[in-house]
Structure 1
Amino acid sequence: MADSSLFQSFFLIFSGAAIVATLALFGRQPLLVAYIALGVLLGPSGLAVIDNLRLLSDMSNVGIIFLLFLLGLDMQPQALVSVLRKATFVGIISCAIFLGIGFSIGQLFGFTTMESWVIGMALMFSSTIIGIKLLPTTVLHHKKLGELMVGLLLFQDFVAIVCLMILLSDSSGDMHLGQVALSFGALPLLVAFAWVVVKYLLLPLFSRFDRFHEYVFLMALGWCMGMAELAETLGLSREIGAFIAGITLAASRISQYIALNLKPLRDFFLILFFFSLGAQFKLSMLPEILVPALVTAVVVLLAKPVVFRYLLGGHSELKILAWDIGFRLGQISEFSLLIALLAFSQNLIGSEASHLIQATAILTFLVSSYIVVMNFPNPIATKDELRRD
């Protein structure tokens, strides 16, 4: 590929993203929906001005690696245990319910057993972007609502990582229990190795050279990428390795500095990820998946608030608090999109099932964000009485 072609692609993606992001903010829409829409517009199904999707897709996967690295960096062990203890029961039951619902929908519309299980996996998770970004900062950090939201989303993150391990355990498209067991067996060894390297090598180096910011930045990148590649070699996944790399550094004083400096780089690659996801969406498949996608989206939008309301009812002083959490978590997740992409790349699901999950994600992102913005306290509410920073 010529350099000019790559530059032209970046020009179209990021200049276009700046425009659609502005329109999305005026329209109170999640930015990731705008990036996906831009991908559909500029990709082969739209204006077809960008066709080098393979390179962009490969590059965008780096954003997911950074996302999981930063997720690990933000998980302080003590706080993690506290919030997870309160959310585990609700998390287990809700994940089981939505796994069953997704599997049933898949079977109803004639998908294979494996595709139905993957659809069920995709329905288990709720969007961190919508859940956290539309929560007022004071509520997020100081109130029970924020504590329960963070606990549930963290629990779902762990479940999502387990799902990624299962999906990536075998690239042949066949799920071998022996390979899955081997991957899980390699996990504690990888964690132990990471802990030893961080304690006896990385932290002393960071302490000695922390005034050289470029060095800290490069070491963090090298550690993230190195652990990602090691995990891939051990039969896990690069995403798992990056998460372990982050969480083993989380307790160090340098972790927040690293997280702050890596976020712009993560956002750069995540824009590519959501753009490439939209660009790979085949509008020609829309007639085939429209009815299943609409049914799945309606079921998610109706069932999630109800399920979380009744599961959380015993934890809340007021029933309205449980409804609030339920509606804020009433969509599927960015992880659902990642699961669809990975399962398709592993030949575990077909294009139709992958597009069903993507379409359901887009629909639930849009409708759910409107419900929250119009009815619950949030930073971008259209009504003055609901606007909370």
Structure 2
Amino acid sequence: MPTGKGCLVAEQTLFQSFFLIFTGAAIVASLFLYGRQPLLVAYIALGVLLGPSCLAVVGDVKLLAEMSSIGIVFLLFLLGLEMQPKALASVLRKVTVVGLASCTLFLVLGFAIGRLFGFTDIESWVIGMALMFSSTIIGIKLLPTTVLHHKYLGELMVGLLLFQDFAAILCLVILLSGSAGAVDFARLILSFAALPLLLVLAWLFVKFPLRPLFARFDRFHEYVFLLALGWCMGLAELAEVLGLSREIGAFIAGISLATSSISQYIALNLKPLRDFFLVMFFFSLGAQFKLSMVPEIALPALATAAAVLTIKPLVFRYLLGNQSEQKVLAWDIGFRLGQISEFSLLIAFLAFKQQLIGSAASHLIQATAILTFLASSYIVVLNFPNPIAIRDELRRD
């Protein structure tokens, strides 16, 4: 076990990183609120400012990024807690056609953009994969809670995001099974065979050990919190071991507890912890971006971001227009989903790690994510009901 001065320095470095992130975020967020600007923009801007490409005052950005991914796990867990299994099946049935059509269109769009700017076929397909998905964080975080749980808009949003999550898992499994352009179909089949196994294990574990434990010790709030946290993280890690992803494992963990009487209490107590890690997620997104790559990828990134911000709302408006009595509802969903996803960043990372794409393609996806996150946040915050609106008439908790 490390002792002495070296261990103390490591501890101080981690503490200092947290100090810089959260104290800096508090200051910058205050300024942004006075300036009537979205808070997500503040976190990303702070990451760029304090990260290696600018002031370089934050140490291990990779460690912070890995820690911040816990926020996405909690987000999916909480989303699962709010979804009754029967309601989930109904919602997914409503959006399957729209999900398939939109993912296909954005995949082709990304491939066309990649080829236009001289990327290889494989790099262009990966760029297409990245464009298929919209941000769960932005989509859910900027959706009023009352709309999320009780309105048709909320059902469609959640359904489309969940469909995209499953499609993202497929893309991640393909990338993880690939090496230099080859896909291991045996590993791919095994990974998807693990999904029903995970569902059965979750159902059995909740029915026998978990529910009786919650019922017997529900007076001990600390224990309930720890048991829920352990269940979320445990099933997330099991999903990762089985070749799926932590996010899908966390979502299944939430779904398995959704019918429990304790689910709303768990959701309420986990939200502050989720928000803690989501601040780190947006900070690390800005901190990991290399400003030195900007001259090389500026034009393709701007073109890709413009295409996403323009075409995604149009596509969802057209595809959802026949399902909604009000055209404004389809526009609302289209603009809320008018960005790429945190999954897109993971796709860029894995594809680069598997040597399927080069640094330029990876940074193109990262730049497009940052640009569309920023622009889409502004569009939603300034024009649609949301919890952090800068105009009182649009603010909905």
**TM-score where L is the length of structure 2:** 0.88
Q: Deviations over 1:210-233 (max 9, x none)?
A: 111111122122222222332233
Contact 1:165 1:240 in 2 (8 A): no
Post-superposition CA distance 1:30-73 (Å, at most 9, x none): 43332222111111101011122232233223333323322322
Aligned pairs, how many? Answer: 389
Whether the aligned pair in 1 keeps the contact of 2:38 and 2:378 (CA below 8 Å) is: no
* CA-based RMSD: 2.6
Amino acid at match of 1:273: F
Does residue 239 of structure 1 match 2:244? no
Distance change (3 Å), C-alpha of 1:339 and 1:36: farther
Counterparts of 2:248 and 2:177, CA distance in 1: 11
Pick one of 215, 227, 233 that aligns with 1:225. 233
1:285 matched residue in structure 2 = 293
Q: Distance in 2 between matches of 1:229 and 1:382?
A: 39
Q: 1:158 to 1:74 in 2, by over 3 A?
A: farther
Select which of 299, 306, 314 maps to 1:306. 314
Q: Percent identity?
A: 78
Partner Cα separation in structure 1 for residue 323 and residue 157 of structure 2: 12
Deviation at 1:383, TM superposition (A): 5.9
2:93 matches 1:88: no
Q: Which residue identity does 2:160 align to in structure 1?
A: L
For residue 25 of structure 1, the aligned residue among 8, 29, 33 is 33
Q: Name the CA distance, whole Å, in 1 between partners of 2:379 and 2:183.
A: 39
Corresponding residue of 2:139: 131
**Distance (whole Å) between structure 1 residues aligned to residue 182 and residue 269 of structure 2:** 40
| Equivalent residue, structure 2, for 1:61 | 69
Q: Residues 167 and 31 (structure 1 numbering): CA distance in 2 closer, same or farther, change over 3 Å?
A: farther
2:196 aligned partner? 188
- Provide the rounded CA distance (Å) in 2 between the counterparts of 1:173 and 1:22: 47
Q: CA separation of 1:196/1:374 partners in 2, compared to 1, >3 Å: closer, same or farther? A: closer
What residue identity is the alignment partner of 2:15?
F
Aligned to 1:4: 12
Segment of structure 1 superposing worse, 168-177 or 72-81: 168-177
| Long gaps (5+) in structure 1 | none
**Aligned mate of 1:48, from 50, 53, 56:** 56
Q: Which moved more, 1:164-173 or 1:234-243?
A: 164-173
Q: Which amino acid aligns with 2:127?
A: I
Checking the alignment, whether the CA contact within 8 Å between 1:36 and 1:278 is kept in structure 2 is yes
Q: 2:305 aligns with which of 266, 287, 297?
A: 297
The answer to whether the 8 A contact 1:33-1:362 is kept is no
Offset at residue 345 of structure 1 (A): 4.2
- When the two structures are superposed, what TM-score results if normalisation uses the length of structure 1? 0.90
- Confirm or deny: 8 A CA contact 2:115 2:121 kept in the other structure: yes
Aligned-pair distance for 1:379? 5.3
- 1:272 equivalent to 2:272? Answer no
